[in-house]
Amino acid sequence: MRSRWPQAPGNGGRKGRSVPRPSRYRKIMRTPSSRESRRRWAAANLAAAIIAAASLATCGGEQPSTPAKLTLAPSPTATATLTLTPASIVPPVRDTANSSGQAIFRANCAVCHGADGEGQPDWHIKKPDGVLPAPPLNGDGHTWHHGDGTLYTYVSRGGKAFESPDIPSFKSGMPAFGEVLSHDDIIAVIEYVKGLWGDKVAEGLGLKKQASQALVSETDPYPEQ
Question: Structural domain of residue 100, as residue ranges?
Answer: 93-217
* 115 touches 106 (CB < 8 A): yes
Tell me the sheet residues that pair with 146.
Answer: none
pTM comes to 0.56
In a domain, 56, yes or no: no
170 inside domain: yes
What DSSP designation does 132 have? B
Residue 51: pLDDT over 80: no
Q: What percent of the chain has pLDDT over 70?
A: 54
Which pLDDT value is given to residue 194?
Answer: 93
CATH number for the domain spanning 139: value is 1.10.760.10
Structural domain tally of the chain? 1
Flag whether 222 is in a domain: no
pLDDT band at 155 (very low <50, low <70, confident <90, very high): very high
Q: Do the domain assignments include residue 24? A: no
pLDDT (tens digit, 9 = 90+) per residue, 67-109? 445 454 555 554 545 454 444 444 444 444 578 999 999 999 9
Q: Which residue has better confidence, 46 or 96?
A: 46
**How many other CB atoms are found less than 10 A from the CB of residue 46?**
10
User: What's the sign of the alpha-carbon dihedral 94, 100, 101, 106?
Assistant: positive
The number of helices, as runs of H, and strands, as runs of E, in the chain is: 7, 0
